[in-house]
């Protein structure tokens, strides 16, 4: 579903992604972990070209990412993205946030789009907030609305860029629960996160990044029980000791 070959990315002189190769099959849930600055968010953002790759190729469902313009917009519609800071449209109600993409990009009729949006809001448990503005919602509710917005496009793959990092601890689980149920339903997901519990529960594969490289990749049980590399052992010992 997603195929990354020889991806390199520079921010000025800073080499942030180094020879990344990653293949994600349909229905697979890949969790990307690693220390801050290891390039995991940048990798995630390269997958729908919010960042442009310096070198290498990204293919979604067999199609190379178009450089720009309408073709890129069309492809992005198939790649859902959930951001760390939610990025709900502040001037629109939750319902209008969700229907904007389907009505403008997919040309779905408004009543139908609203109906679908309500179904999605029920699914993420905030149907009662449909007519509220984002600022009137808690962080966890905003993030669930943002997931509903991404789902409304019926994406082939969902990208999560640290979806719970900006949330109060007590709101993390309500978002993770939604993500776990999506994973269980067979959604193809690439999740950048520090939530190791989610990786254990929902991931088919854990990818560990450090210093712009994919250092290790394996099943979550193997990765957490017996990391192959010194760097991964060191990382896990630091975050799992509490």
Q: Please report, as ranges, the residues that interact with other proteins according to CB under 8 A.
A: 48, 50, 68-70, 73-81, 83, 85, 87-91, 100-101, 104-105, 133, 135-136, 146, 149-150, 153
Nearer to other proteins, 38 or 99 (CB): 99
Nearer to other proteins, 73 or 239 (CB): 73
Listed in sequence order, the residues at least 6 apart from 39 whose beta carbon sits closer than 8 Å to its beta carbon are 9, 16, 17, 18, 20, 209, 211, 212, 213
Nearer to other proteins, 107 or 242 (CB): 107
Helix (H, G, I), strand (E, B) or coil at 163: coil
How far, in Å, CA of 146 to CA of 236, rounded? 30
Nearer to other proteins, 15 or 133 (CB): 133
Nearer to other proteins, 149 or 205 (CB): 149
For residue 161, the minimal CB distance to other proteins (Å) is: 10
For residue 232, the minimal CB distance to other proteins (Å) is: 30
- For tokens 């990765």, the residue is 223
Phi, psi of 31 (to 5 degrees): -105, 125
Q: Which helix (H) or strand (E) holds 241?
A: none
How far, in Å, CA of 145 to CA of 125, rounded? 9
CA–CA distance from 103 to each of 29, 114, 133, 194, 237 (Å)?
Answer: 29, 9, 19, 34, 48
For residue 146, the minimal CB distance to other proteins (Å) is: 8
Q: Which helix (H) or strand (E) holds 103?
A: helix 94-104
For residue 128, the minimal CB distance to other proteins (Å) is: 17
For residue 15, the minimal CB distance to other proteins (Å) is: 23
């Amino acid at each position: 579903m997603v195929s990354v070959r020889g991806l390199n990315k520079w921010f000025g002189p800073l080499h942030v992604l180094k020879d990344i190769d990653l293949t994600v099959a349909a229905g697979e849930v890949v969790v990307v972990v690693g220390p801050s600055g290891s390039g995991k968010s940048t990798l995630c953002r390269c997958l729908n070209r919010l960042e442009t790759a310096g070198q290498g190729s990204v293919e979604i469902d067999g199609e190379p990412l178009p450089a720009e313009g309408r073709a890129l917009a069309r492809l992005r519609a198939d790649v859902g993205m959930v951001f760390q800071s939610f990025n709900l449209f502040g001037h629109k109600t939750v319902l209008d946030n969700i229907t904007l993409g389907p009505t403008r990009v997919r040309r779905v009729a408004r009543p139908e789009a609203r109906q679908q949006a309500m179904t999605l809001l029920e699914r993420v448990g905030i149907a009662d907030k449909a007519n509220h503005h984002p600022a009137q919602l808690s962080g966890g509710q905003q993030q669930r609305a943002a997931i509903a917005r991404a789902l409304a496009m019926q994406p082939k793959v969902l990208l999560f860029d640290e979806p719970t990092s900006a949330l109060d601890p007590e709101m993390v689980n309500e978002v993770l629960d939604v993500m776990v149920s999506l994973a269980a339903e067979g959604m193809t997901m690439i999740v950048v996160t520090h939530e190791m519990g989610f990786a254990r529960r929902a991931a088919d594969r854990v990818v560990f990044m450090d210093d712009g490289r994919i250092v290790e990749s394996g099943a979550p049980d193997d990765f957490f029980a017996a990391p192959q590399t010194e760097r991964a052992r060191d990382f896990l010992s630091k975050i799992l000791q509490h």
